[in-house]
Chains A and B, each alone.
Chain A
Amino acid sequence: DAKTTQPNSMESNEEEPVHLPCNHSTISGTDYIHWYRQLPSQGPEYVIHGLTSNVNNRMASLAIAEDRKSSTLILHRATLRDAAVYYCILSNRDDKIIFGKGTRLHILP
């Protein structure tokens, strides 16, 4: 059963910021929020993860709502290479990683 809800697809213009939403209203206190992406013809790629606080790395930022029931992956300046399926996944230390359908991000030149 999917524990997260994401839009099926989104579009964004090149060189603009992208905000990818994820709802996870049943998140437990020990669940981490993970984001992966899958470029065409490649295996999934780890993007970022967090627990309670917002997180930044060289690829993206993760903004986590105060009640942790939603989060947003932020790509600060989208490029054509960011076109991919983005997966939001909840996982705790003892869990396997289960993928949902993700959000297909289209980048318009």
Chain B
Amino acid sequence: DTGVSQDPRHKITKRGQNVTFRCDPISEHNRLYWYRQTLGQGPEFLTYFQNEAQLEKSRLLSDRFSAERPKGSFSTLEIQRTEQGDSAMYLCASSLVVGAAGAFFGQGTRLTVV
């Protein structure tokens, strides 16, 4: 297992289009997290899963954002009707139960909305 992988690494889309990102966590990790990061800021929490259950979604996240983890393995993050303000790096991380173990991050998907 080579770690957390995210696909695609880069995405350029036109405003108003829908985009979907995929995250493959480290196998046997039951926690999966999505974050968004803009230049000069720390990662901003979006949502997280324990197995297939979505435990929490940030209140800052609009209804245009949705995430799934259907079988408790890989996850997808979809953004509908993209806006220029959605341009950011989208990071995925996975872990065992977090308190007692660290989380491991993917390299991220860089989204540019034009």
Contact = CB atoms under 8 A, between A and B. Distances in A.
A45 B45 contact: no
B86 to A, nearest CB: 19
B25 interface: no
A42 B89 CA distance: 10
Contacts, number: 60
B12 interface: no
B103 A97 contact: yes
B105 A30 contact: no
Range of interface residues on A (Cβ < 8 Å)? 20 to 34
Interface stretch (A12-20, A75-83, A84-92): A84-92
Say whether chain A's binding surface is mostly helix, strand, loop, or mixed.
loop
A31 to B, nearest CB: 8
Nearest to B56: A96
Contact of A32 (B55, B56, B99): B99
B107 to A, nearest CB: 5
Contacts of B33: 96-97
A72 to B, nearest CB: 18
B42 A32 contact: no
A89 B56 CA distance: 18
Nearest to B106: A43
Nearest to A104: B40
Contact of A46 (B42, B45, B104): B104
A34 B106 contact: no
Interface in A1-50: 30-32, 34, 36, 38, 42-49
